[in-house]
Amino acid sequence: MSERIVLASGSASRRAMLTHAGVPHDVMPTQVDEAAIKRDLATSAPADLAAALALAKARAGSDAAPGRIVLGGDSLVALDGRIYDKPASRAEAAEHLAAFSDHTIALHSAAALVRDGQTLATTADVAQLVVRPLSPGFIEAYLDAEWPAIAACAGCFRIEGMGVQLFSSLKGNHFTILGMPLLGLLSELRTLDVMTS
């Protein structure tokens, strides 16, 4: 690998994926006005919104890390045309989980690579997650165990933890479900000669 990239995210899952995949990186979380982006793109497809958020985060990180390749990422959940934000409260998480119960949710994950404000590459993927019927009692017990750790998680779950109990089946790439289209990202890093091909 010729250079360390910058991960513009505080996500423990994304850090772990990069580390385990052998991608040297530094962590520099960035802040963007996600609400404003979502308002501006209110009629966009979920995949396009995830891509726009990932790119905005990468660009914000690029401003703070001149000359370096910055990785931005985003994941969001959609069901029946509605995009579900990360829950703002335990009560809202319970509402989301009740809405997901006995439905298939789409988890969109996107990543963008930017250097000095210039977009070098983008990649995205989607997974279909079949949520089993969730009783009110299960939702409360689940949140007793997982809240507030899942407050920053699209879909109110950590698939590597108790979140796996929400689903009857998963259709899609494991890394996408964890929160990053890692295989596509690795391909882009090789194309950019950041990683040995």
Q: Between the CA of residue 177 and those of 42, 48, 61, 75, 89, what are the distances in Å? A: 24, 17, 24, 9, 22
Active site residue 74: yes
Q: What Rg do the C-alpha atoms of the chain give, in angstroms? A: 17
From the list 44, 41, 58, 29, the residue with the least C-alpha distance to 121 is 58
User: Distance from CA of residue 192 to its chain's centroid?
Assistant: 22
Q: Residue 74 belongs to what H/E stretch?
A: strand 69-79
User: Distance from CA of residue 16 to its chain's centroid?
Assistant: 13
Among the listed residues 63, 74, 116, 144, the single catalytic one is: 74
Please identify every residue annotated as catalytic.
Answer: 74
